[in-house]
Chain A
Amino acid sequence: MKELFPMKQIMGFVFSLMLTVVALAVYFLNMSFAMGMTILVVTAFIQAAVQLVVFMHAGETKDKGAIYTNVYYGVAIALVTIFGTLLTMIWGYN
């Protein structure tokens, strides 16, 4: 019975719905721009991770190492691009 019931996927689904609600709240609640953006970025990254691990089954085959290396590499490049852009276009701009 336990093997048949996709507990992990159900929990993942509930969790991703919760993340969506939190992200949606940014629109309905009154908060500062920076606060809203921070919440969106954080929930977006967690959401992407949930999708990859729970629904796209990263880590369930023997390619685990290669897949996670790729994911981490991608995340690192995304972060560098985003924060580098913020640095040049906004924070470090005269």
Chain B
Amino acid sequence: MEFFERFAIPHPSAPIYASMVAIALTIVAIIAGLTYFKKWGYLWREWLTTVDHKRIGIMYLISALLMLFRGGVDALMMRAQLAVPDNKLLDAQHYNEVFTTHGVVMIIFMAMPFIMALMNFVVPLQIGARDVAFPRLNALSFWLFFMGAMLFNISFVVGGSPDAGWTSYFPLAGNEFSTSVGSNYYMIAIQIAGLGTLMTGINFITTIFKMRAPGMTLMKMPMFTWSALITNAIIVFAFPVLTVALAMGTMDRLFGTHFFTTNNGGMDMLWANLFWVWGHPEVYILILPAFGIYSEVISTFARRNLYGYKSMVVSMVLISFMSFLVWVHHFFTMGQGALTNSIFSITTMAIAVPTGIKIFNWLFTLYKGKIEITTPMLYALLFIPLFTIGGVTGVMLGMSAADYQYHNTMFLVAHFHMVIIPGVVFAMLAGLTYWWPKMFGFMLNERLGKLAAWVIGISTLVAFMPMFFSGLDGQARRMYTYSASTGFGPLNMISFVGAIGLAVGFAIIVYNVYYSVRYASRDIGADPWNARTLEWATHSPVPEYNFAIVPHVKSAEALWDAKKKRHILFQGDYEKIHMPNNSGVPFIMSSIFFVWGFAMIFSMWAVAIIATIGIFACMAHRSVEIDHGRYISVRKIEETETKLRGAK
């Protein structure tokens, strides 16, 4: 019995027990369903072992949407708790756990896989490639992320959630003040997912440098691919810092080292420093792909080429470098002198310049464009004004002297939600709607889509604008309740209404998916938006080899110029196509990682050691395994092509 006590929840309540039951029932239902419909083989062959970038993209997408709902429920609980003064819905400890998991889930397990989903699906198609450079590594990336996410998500029913904030500052996150295993979950689950992300970074840089279709020089790449390249470069340089910081934090918590302690030569502030050395580049890792999506959407639906292609590229390269120069703006109040703070204030304001260049380029693209308002375009048009509010308040926060007033108030919370929601979430929804027909072969309903966009756009304002004011009035962030005499009540009530509105907006999107699955036309052709880039030059849904003949590219808007200037994309005859084999090893290895992580979290050393050996065994297997891939014959290609063309 004693052995099992460690898995108990330190701070239980009725809803948590209810969730345990719900989780158990869901697992039973899934297993029963798979067995009843005899889908185990299908699941294993077509999904768990796949190395196809399109399927991996779709799995990322499903995980991201699941996590969006998990994080969304957290958000609703927090807003409900704060809606009225002295509320007793959540107690202090639960509130701490909820805001911690909300932040981690939304940034690391929702936004990251969402951009990974779109990059995985779109980038190889946009550059005319058959897959990514290292397909099996790509599968490993996904499964590591997935297992990390699952590990993090079981924390609230097994052993207790982390409660030191998504920033997990030491000494609060150290053993002295965080006694449950919650912070171990934080350190280890993020570590596992982060390894996957780092591999993706290397994989996509190689893919974009090495696998472009003939004729596609760097300066002829579509803007989304450019943004993916820059993003992955930032990943490769920023994530190792997180890896190291998490490893040091893990050692402090599990092995009694003193990296971040307040005594014995430790330096607690070093955690905050390392966290933000990764953390600020991370916000640009999220926003740059979003900028890439907006660039594609805006030029498609303004029906003209992107204004200032070169300056767009240059400003992204600048942003990628400058994003490493500003991290101290997250802790201006930690005690550095005025000189240090001023240096980082200036770099912070400087980064707004390339960001501004991009905004103006979009405006100039719209100007004189023949604008057609579709759902993705509506998100893009809502993004510009809303994101500007977030950006301008960011510059306010960037002034170190003024930041002493704003820091750790709801003003800050309002800032980053006003950049992340219009910037990242709207872009993901725009990209999802835009590429949906390529992924699934039918379009989402436009009326429902636009309705959802308006509801989400307006609700974002309703939910987050009041926080600017309550923050200036002195409402601190991460405070689980307040008294009526503070006067924060009405503003928080408005925020709550906005949060409900956001939930309604997402519900409309879910309904839209259901509605479109049932009623949308499957007869939409390969290019329903009349778009400009290569992914629309192949069939929808895309055959496994992507392009029967590798395209030849002559301009930055390959498909558009093929349509308008009669460039010929596909020349020559079919040839047999070399494709990678599926493999179960990434899934198995990541499952072992899950066991390893779980064992580490609960200090079960024997299990951890066996799992470590298992992980190395998987790597050894890969080193000696002989796998030359397989070929798709010309006859098979002809068959597939005729079938897909017929379906059009």
- Name the CB-closest residue of B to A76: B321
- Interface residue SS majority, chain B: helix
- Determine how close the nearest CB of chain B comes to the CB of A76; give it in whole angstroms: 8
> Are A85 and B273 touching (Cβ within 8 A)?
yes
Chain A residues, CB < 8 A from B321: 73, 76-77
Chain B residues, CB < 8 A from A84: 277, 325, 327-328
> Are A81 and B241 touching (Cβ within 8 A)?
yes
Whether A92 contacts B237 in the complex (CB less than 8 A), given A66-B209, A73-B321, A81-B324, comes out as no
Question: Within 8 Å of chain B (Cβ to Cβ): is A59?
Answer: no
> Are B337 and A92 touching (Cβ within 8 A)?
yes
Question: Within 8 Å of chain A (Cβ to Cβ): is B395?
Answer: no
Chain A residues, CB < 8 A from B328: 84, 88
- Name the CB-closest residue of B to A87: B340
Residues of A within 8 A of B (CB): 63, 66, 73-74, 76-77, 80-81, 84-85, 87-89, 92-94
Chain A residues, CB < 8 A from B335: 93-94
In the assembled complex, the Cα of A81 lies from the Cα of B233 at a distance in Å of 16
Chain A residues, CB < 8 A from B324: 77, 80-81
> Are A89 and B270 touching (Cβ within 8 A)?
yes
Question: Within 8 Å of chain A (Cβ to Cβ): is B336?
Answer: yes
Residues of B within 8 A of A (CB): 209, 233, 237, 241, 267, 269-270, 273, 277, 321, 324-325, 327-328, 335-337, 339-340, 343
| In the A-B complex, the 4 residue pairs with the closest CB atoms | A92-B340, A92-B337, A88-B336, A92-B336
- Name the CB-closest residue of B to A93: B336
Number of A-B contacts (CB under 8 A): 44
- Name the CB-closest residue of A to B269: A89
Q: Which of A66, A81, A87 has the most CB of B within 10 A?
A: A81
Q: A66-B209, A73-B237 are in contact. List 8 more A-B contacts (CB 8 A).
A: A80-B324, A80-B325, A84-B277, A85-B277, A88-B328, A88-B340, A93-B337, A94-B335
- Name the CB-closest residue of A to B274: A85
In the assembled complex, the Cα of A88 lies from the Cα of B328 at a distance in Å of 8
Chain B residues, CB < 8 A from A92: 336-337, 339-340
Chain B residues, CB < 8 A from A88: 273, 328, 336, 340
- Determine how close the nearest CB of chain B comes to the CB of A48; give it in whole angstroms: 14
Chain A residues, CB < 8 A from B233: 73
In the assembled complex, the Cα of A53 lies from the Cα of B327 at a distance in Å of 32
- Determine how close the nearest CB of chain B comes to the CB of A58; give it in whole angstroms: 15
In the assembled complex, the Cα of A63 lies from the Cα of B206 at a distance in Å of 12
Chain B residues, CB < 8 A from A74: 237
- Determine how close the nearest CB of chain A comes to the CB of B44; give it in whole angstroms: 38
Chain B residues, CB < 8 A from A89: 267, 269-270, 273
- Name the CB-closest residue of B to A70: B233
Chain A residues, CB < 8 A from B270: 85, 89
- Name the CB-closest residue of B to A66: B209
> Are B336 and A94 touching (Cβ within 8 A)?
yes
In the assembled complex, the Cα of A94 lies from the Cα of B332 at a distance in Å of 12
